[in-house]
């Protein structure tokens, strides 16, 4: 038996995935982190065409130039970020982008600020790069929004980066513009990097997403097609940064992946250039489900913030056995503690499931757990 590398000592396989393995297949799944919608038809057709045209060869390491040009236009129009195709890399999901950032810029002795609670991969990627993740509290009093003042308090001489994620997984919180701007200013003054994971930028209700890259040249912006276009399994995303950073990131990407998949690159091109009405429809439906979920949970007495984005809510549920009891009754959720210590006494509930299933799940929780 060969021992694994010591960098894996602190890494555990995802608790969320484990939850799915223990529960019955008929349970209503409010634990998932992916849209229940199908990929829009125009995107599917573009991918079928790509196969028929034998578009199955390597592309440039950074991705097809046509796709990168569209990504540049998107960044300018929607995020106020001025970039160019040379500074864009098409990745295998935002996941690869995140991993690239950690491998290219983090090493032993570096501190990386991450929200507590936050998406599981952040701490894992920092640990895999031998860095130290430093949690910054996000509390229910602040609707789980990361505040610049709290970030400032955690900055030390060793701070190398901060990972921002707005809208947030697992809380649905959308950061305020002032905080984004203030953190961007700090990143320039104190010389640290912002890794901005904007994968949920379009799944937002009435608020606007602000990109720190607009204010700080020390930013790497990560994005992808998984959430906006329901393309999770197709594994396609992208990033942009200034040319010095892009060159370092490319070293990781080139020797790890070579290039993203050709078929899904063609799908991604269609996603950006084709009609956007499916996106609007999906976001409208997510909002309807968010309203239902928040209302029902609050009626049950579980204090729940009316989250402004992503497809998660993070109610306060102090019953330690809630997640297990709910799973036995046929509703899968995820314990908040999986996302960091501030997740204690909270549960992540994803509403990326049909309205009818959410109604059923809420009835089950009310009848069998709250009144049971
Ligand atoms: N960032 C966050 C916050 C996420 O929730 C996810 C998916 N669960 C990802 C990144 C990964 O996205 P992708 O499918 O593009 O790798």
The whole-number pLDDT of residue 25 equals 75
The whole-number pLDDT of residue 235 equals 98
- Can you list the domains of the chain with their CATH numbers? 6-38+277-370 (3.90.1150.10), 41-273 (3.40.640.10)
The whole-number pLDDT of residue 16 equals 66
How would DSSP label each residue in 162-177? EEEESSPTTT-----H
Is residue 121 within 8 Å of 127, Cβ to Cβ? no
Measuring CA to CA, which residue among 130, 175, 106, 114 is closest to residue 343? 114
Element (H, E) at 126: helix 120-128
CA angle 33, 36, 40 (to 5 degrees): 120
Give the integer Cα–Cα distance in Å for 139 and 45. 44
The whole-number pLDDT of residue 17 equals 66
In the predicted structure, residue 105 carries a pLDDT above the cut 80: yes
Q: What are phi and psi of 11, to 5 degrees?
A: -100, 130
- pTM for the whole structure: 0.96
Cα(168) to ligand 1 centroid in Å equals 10
For the chain, what is the mean pLDDT? Answer: 96
* Atom number of ligand 1 nearest to Cα 168: 3
Confidence of residue 372 (pLDDT cuts 50, 70, 90): confident
Pocket of ligand 1 (CB under 6 A): 33, 93-95, 119, 165, 169, 197, 199, 224, 226, 232, 237
The model's pLDDT over 124-152, given as tens digits with 9 standing for 90+, comes to: 999 999 999 999 999 999 999 999 999 99
Cα(21) to ligand 1 centroid in Å equals 20
Confidence of residue 33 (pLDDT cuts 50, 70, 90): confident
Cα(192) to ligand 1 centroid in Å equals 23
Cα(348) to ligand 1 centroid in Å equals 16
The whole-number pLDDT of residue 114 equals 98
Cα(94) to ligand 1 centroid in Å equals 6
* Atom number of ligand 1 nearest to Cα 94: 15
Q: Which long-range contacts (CB under 8 A, 24 or more apart) does 275-281 make?
A: 275/42, 278/37, 278/40, 278/229, 279/202, 279/228, 279/229
Cα(100) to ligand 1 centroid in Å equals 14
The whole-number pLDDT of residue 264 equals 98
- Average pLDDT estimate for 35-60: 97
Provide, rounded to the nearest whole percent, the portion of the chain with pLDDT above 90. 92
Read off the tokens for 6.
């010591």
Is residue 344 within 8 Å of 141, Cβ to Cβ? no
How many other CB atoms are there within 10 angstroms of residue 155's CB atom?
A: 18
The model's pLDDT over 200-238, given as tens digits with 9 standing for 90+, comes to: 999 999 999 999 999 999 999 999 999 999 999 999 999
The model's pLDDT over 88-98, given as tens digits with 9 standing for 90+, comes to: 999 999 999 99
Give the closest residue (by CA) to ligand 1 atom 3: 169
* Atom number of ligand 1 nearest to Cα 236: 15
Element (H, E) at 105: helix 93-105
Q: Which residues pair with 161 in a beta bridge?
A: 112, 193
* Atom number of ligand 1 nearest to Cα 310: 5
The model's pLDDT over 14-29, given as tens digits with 9 standing for 90+, comes to: 766 666 665 677 899 9
Is residue 155 within 8 Å of 192, Cβ to Cβ? yes
Cα(283) to ligand 1 centroid in Å equals 17
Give the closest residue (by CA) to ligand 1 atom 7: 33
| CB burial of residue 101 (10 Å; 0-12, 13-18, 19+) | buried
The whole-number pLDDT of residue 32 equals 87
Give the integer Cα–Cα distance in Å for 64 and 159. 35
């Amino acid at each position: 038996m060969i021992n694994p590398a010591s960098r894996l000592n602190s890494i555990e396989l995802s608790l969320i995935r484990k939850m799915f393995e223990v529960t019955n297949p008929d349970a209503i799944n409010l634990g998932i982190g992916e849209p229940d919608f199908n990929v829009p038809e125009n995107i599917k057709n573009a991918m079928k065409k790509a196969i028929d045209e034998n578009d199955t060869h390597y592309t440039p390491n950074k991705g097809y130039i046509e796709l990168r040009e569209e990504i540049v236009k998107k960044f300018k129009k929607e995020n106020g970020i001025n970039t160019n195709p040379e500074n864009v890399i098409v990745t295998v999901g935002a996941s690869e982008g995140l991993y690239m950032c950690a491998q290219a810029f983090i090493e032993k002795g570096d501190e990386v600020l991450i929200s507590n609670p936050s998406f599981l991969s952040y701490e894992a990627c920092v640990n895999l790069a031998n860095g130290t993740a430093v949690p910054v509290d996000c509390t229910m009093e602040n609707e789980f929004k990361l505040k610049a003042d709290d970030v400032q308090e955690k900055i030390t001489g060793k701070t190398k980066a901060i990972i921002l994620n707005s809208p947030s997984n697992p809380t649905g919180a959308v950061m305020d513009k002032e905080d984004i701007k203030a953190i961007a200013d700090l990143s320039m003054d104190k010389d640290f990097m912002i890794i901005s994971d904007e994968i949920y930028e379009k799944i937002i209700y009435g608020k606007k997403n602000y990109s720190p890259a607009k204010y700080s040249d020390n930013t790497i912006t990560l994005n992808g097609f998984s959430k906006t276009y329901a393309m999770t399994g197709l594994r396609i995303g992208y990033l942009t940064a200034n040319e010095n950073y892009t060159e370092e990131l490319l070293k990781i990407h080139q020797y790890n992946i070579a290039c993203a998949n050709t078929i899904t690159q063609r799908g991604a091109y269609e996603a950006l250039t084709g009609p956007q009405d499916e996106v609007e429809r999906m976001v409208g439906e997510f909002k309807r489900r968010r309203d239902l979920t928040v209302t029902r949970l609050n009626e049950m007495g579980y204090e729940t913030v009316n989250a402004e984005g992503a497809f998660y809510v993070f109610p306060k549920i102090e019953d330690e056995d809630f997640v297990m009891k709910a799973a036995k009754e046929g509703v899968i959720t995820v314990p908040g503690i999986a996302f960091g210590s501030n997740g204690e006494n909270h549960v992540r509930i994803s509403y990326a499931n049909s309205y009818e299933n959410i109604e059923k799940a809420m009835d089950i929780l009310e009848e069998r757990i709250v009144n049971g």
